[in-house]
Amino acid sequence: MKMDRRQFLAATIAGASGLALARHTLFAETAAPAGAFELVPLGKTGIKVTRVGLGTGVRGGMRQSNMTRMGKEVAEGVMKAAYECGVRFFDVADMYGTHPLLAEALKGKPREEYVISTKMWVDKGGLPEQERPDADVVVDRFRKELNTDYLDMVLLHCRTKATWPEDNKRQMEILEKLKEKKIIRAHGISAHSVEALKAAAESPWCDSVHARINPFGVKMDAAADVVVPVLRLLHERGKGVVGMKLIGEGTFRNDDAKRTESVKFVMGLGCVDTMIVGFEKADEIDDFAARVQAAMKEAKAGA
């Protein structure tokens, strides 16, 4: 009877965001896969995040992404559904244009209960305007857009060169001062090359790294056997490691076998703290969480 009731109500609730929220209210009758949403340490940052987080930057640029292209109501519905399901780690960026959407979706939620990671763009292109203000100016704007007094993590977006610590020294120094003032809790990079990843492992400044990882090398910087040793080094040195592109930027969305294999592979590495996925439907959150739970159960049984 529970299943019949859920199916009936889900089919009759109008509106995409209403559907997402109603669905999770109904599914609260059964326990969500706890493993996906338990809090885990993000390296030595002192920050705890859920094992699975919501990414908002699929095909992002010029303050747009798949999330913004859904429209405000649908996007906020997905974000609210993620929170109701148990997600407490949200990844946004200036380049994605998702700050206002997340602020509205989490309005009224206790700020200490969720973690926000955002990214500042320092290069040419990528944003509509030409100016690239310093990090203190940018972070002030971010806090207003996200309706928060502090940011958990601010990253330098899309670092590709081995020389990024020298190239971005000024912004790094400003971000460090903001951390000292407790305006931000941690800083780091999102890496888009193996060289940038290696530089992050050597950088005392870098608290955490977003890295692209899946077993198939899809939408990655190199093959997995090249990337994984660097991720292990980052982990050994106490850096937070946030895995992204597990679904190959949506490439495996309709491939059950590859989604399962990717989850098992990344979780089995032992060096990826948390995984962010660009969920675009509430159902995808449950699907991924179930795969995480199954992978954890299988690993425990084989221990």
CATH code for the domain in which residue 240 is found: 3.20.20.100
The number of domains in the chain is 2
Instruction: Clarify whether residues 23 and 160 are in a common domain.
Output: no
Instruction: Clarify whether residues 231 and 292 are in a common domain.
Output: yes
Instruction: Clarify whether residues 160 and 272 are in a common domain.
Output: yes
Per-residue pLDDT for the chain (303 aa), expressed as one digit of tens each? 333 333 433 332 334 444 444 434 333 333 445 799 999 999 999 999 999 999 999 999 999 999 999 999 999 999 999 999 999 999 999 999 999 999 999 999 999 999 999 999 999 999 999 999 999 999 999 999 999 999 999 999 999 999 999 999 999 999 999 999 999 999 999 999 999 999 999 999 999 999 999 999 999 999 999 999 999 999 999 999 999 999 999 999 999 999 999 999 999 999 999 999 999 999 999 999 999 999 999 999 987
Under 8 Å between Cβ of 50 and 41: no
Taking the C-alpha atoms of residue 37 and residue 86, their distance in angstroms, rounded to an integer, is 5
Instruction: Clarify whether residues 14 and 147 are in a common domain.
Output: no
Instruction: Clarify whether residues 158 and 115 are in a common domain.
Output: yes
pTM for the structure as a whole: 0.90
Instruction: Clarify whether residues 16 and 103 are in a common domain.
Output: no
Instruction: Clarify whether residues 41 and 3 are in a common domain.
Output: no
Q: How much is the pLDDT for 205?
A: 98
Instruction: Clarify whether residues 165 and 180 are in a common domain.
Output: yes
Residue 100 backbone phi and psi in degrees, to 5: -60, -35
Domain around 16? 1-30
Instruction: Clarify whether residues 220 and 271 are in a common domain.
Output: yes
Instruction: Clarify whether residues 81 and 5 are in a common domain.
Output: no
Q: How much is the pLDDT for 33?
A: 59
Taking the alpha carbons at both ends of the chain, their separation in whole angstroms is: 37
Instruction: Clarify whether residues 10 and 117 are in a common domain.
Output: no
Instruction: Clarify whether residues 24 and 48 are in a common domain.
Output: no
